[in-house]
Structure 1
Amino acid sequence: MLADESKPKPIRHRLWWIVIAPTLWAIHFLACYVTVAIWCEKAARPDAGGPPLVWIMAYSVVAMAGIIWVGVLSYRNFRKGDPPLPYDFDDPSDRTHFLGFTAFLLALLSGIATLFTVLVFVLVKTCD
């Protein structure tokens, strides 16, 4: 028996998806600030350039790829079965659609937060 792809997966398979995107943003945030803190304390010289933007951009590409991946999968899960809005009925399908929508919105928010984190390092290029 093949699984019906038009129906969303049960809630137990998607509940943890709502924390992935914010966790990726938090790891990105910490990685960027720890990298710059170490750079500014140990490696920065008066004649050196700004913080290591190459590392920050690498962290950002990885984080944004993960956040976009979670957002796309969450959006696809949300749109399966053409869910009715608002969620008036308490059944597994509505709960799964709601969690997909929540994970999508959190991925969108995490993507924006990641861009704002990068913006700080692009605009402020000194350790002072």
Structure 2
Amino acid sequence: MVERKTEVAKSADEASLREDEERKTFAEESDSLWLITLGPLIWILHFLVCYGLTAMVCAKLGGNADWLQILRIVIAVVTVIALVGIGVTGWRAWKQWDFLDDFDYSHGLAFEEDRHEFLGHAAFMLGIVAFIGVVYVALPALFMKTCL
């Protein structure tokens, strides 16, 4: 009878440990999913701010040269903020990818660690695309002389 209670207590402890491990894994993967979306989200917000401000300056303020100069400065500041945000996101994704630790880029079976590293890899690659996208969105501001 005592052995039976001990076995029940052990199985309850193991179930509790499994639940804690599942919660931890879910939290890590949930963070990874947010990390994947953050780079493209920054890119989208940058695009909306840059083109929205440009449309407002050109349509509502007549494209005055002084306003265009202020617009260029604002776009430069917004671009630097966006690139720093994408850089931080990319750095976190690179660390999660953990490629340099084991140089293991191919996984035969789907283990939790492999899924976690894959999400980091995907977030890192999306960060690179978002970085390039932000640069290309900001390029017209360098060459803009008038609104025409």
Please give the range of the TM-score, normalised by the shorter of the 2 chains: 0.7 to 0.9
Contact 2:65–2:146 under 8 Å retained in 1: no
* Per-residue deviation, 1:49: 6.0
Asked if 1:14 is matched to 2:32, the reply is: yes
Instruction: Identify the residue that residue 20 of structure 2 maps to in structure 1.
Output: none
Percent identity reads 27
Instruction: Tell which deviates more after alignment, 118-127 or 103-112.
Output: 118-127
Q: Of the candidates 74, 78, 85, which is equivalent to residue 66 of structure 1? A: 85
Instruction: Tell which deviates more after alignment, 46-55 or 30-39.
Output: 46-55
**CA separation of 1:13 and 1:48: change in aligned 2, threshold 3 A:** closer
Helix, strand or coil at the partner of 1:74: helix
Helix, strand or coil at the partner of 2:102: coil
Instruction: Identify the residue that residue 145 of structure 2 maps to in structure 1.
Output: 125
**CA separation of 1:71 and 1:57: change in aligned 2, threshold 3 A:** same
Q: TM-score, normalised by structure 1?
A: 0.84
**CA separation of 1:79 and 1:45: change in aligned 2, threshold 3 A:** closer
Looking at CA atoms only, which structure, 1 or 2, has the larger radius of gyration?
A: 2
Helix, strand or coil at the partner of 1:50: helix
Asked if 1:76 is matched to 2:95, the reply is: yes
Instruction: Identify the residue that residue 54 of structure 1 maps to in structure 2.
Output: 73
- Aligned pair count reads 121
Contact 2:46–2:78 under 8 Å retained in 1: yes
Instruction: Identify the residue that residue 3 of structure 1 maps to in structure 2.
Output: none
**CA separation of 1:10 and 1:46: change in aligned 2, threshold 3 A:** closer
Contact 1:10–1:93 under 8 Å retained in 2: no
Where does the alignment leave 5 or more consecutive residues of structure 2 unmatched?
1-24
* Per-residue deviation, 1:16: 1.5
Q: Of the candidates 98, 106, 121, which is equivalent to residue 86 of structure 1? A: 106
Instruction: Tell which deviates more after alignment, 9-18 or 90-99.
Output: 9-18
Contact 1:28–1:59 under 8 Å retained in 2: yes
Query: Given residue 56 of structure 1, which amino acid in structure 2 is its aligned partner?
Result: I
* Per-residue deviation, 1:58: 1.2
Structure 1 stretches of 4+ with a deviation exceeding 6 A read none
Where relative contact order (Cα < 8 A, 6+ residues apart) is larger, the structure is 1
Q: Of the candidates 111, 119, 125, which is equivalent to residue 99 of structure 1? A: 119
Q: TM-score, normalised by structure 2?
A: 0.73
* Per-residue deviation, 1:21: 0.4
